[in-house]
Amino acid sequence: TQTVSQSDAHVTVFEGDSVELRCNYSYGGSIYLSWYIQHHGHGLQFLLKYYSGNPVVQGVNGFEAEFSKSDSSFHLRKASVHWSDSAVYFCAVSSMSNYNVLYFGSGTKLTVEP
């Protein structure tokens, strides 16, 4: 059984700050890890994913995430946030050969204050 844990329900930062949103997972097989963003009133949108290779993956709008097998983590980072980054961020796991079904964390609401 896959589990995805996002320990911070809410994170508040100021515009221009860096931010890290944490994600830990539990799964023993081959998996894909991904992040999705949901702006208020809109559907979830894909940000980035990791399967293998370089543990740091780049996404859209300056986001990146780093995979750590030893920590079972896939944290999302941005060096300098903008007010438009305010949204809910979901970490997700999908396993090989399972029709790309996603198992999500409960989300982290990021608020960027001016």
Partner 1 sequence: DTTVKQNPRYKLARVGKPVNLICSQTMNHDTMYWYQKKPNQAPKLLLFYYDKILNREADTFEKFQSSRPNNSFCSLYIGSAGLEYSAMYLCASSRGRDGDEQYFGPGTRLTVL
Residues near partner 1 (CB under 8 A): 4, 9, 32, 34, 36, 41-46, 49, 51, 90, 94, 96-97, 99-107
Cβ closest to partner 1, residue 105 vs residue 110: 105
Q: CB within 8 A of 72, min separation 6: which ones?
A: 24, 25, 26
Minimum distance, C-beta of residue 75 to partner 1, in the bound complex (Å) = 17
Contact present, 19 and 11 (Cβ < 8 Å): yes
Cβ closest to partner 1, residue 80 vs residue 106: 106
Minimum distance, C-beta of residue 93 to partner 1, in the bound complex (Å) = 11
Q: What is the token pair recorded at 65?
A: 């995430």
Cβ closest to partner 1, residue 13 vs residue 44: 44
CA 4 to each of CA 28, 35, 60, 94: distance values in angstroms, whole numbers, following the listed order: 13, 11, 22, 10
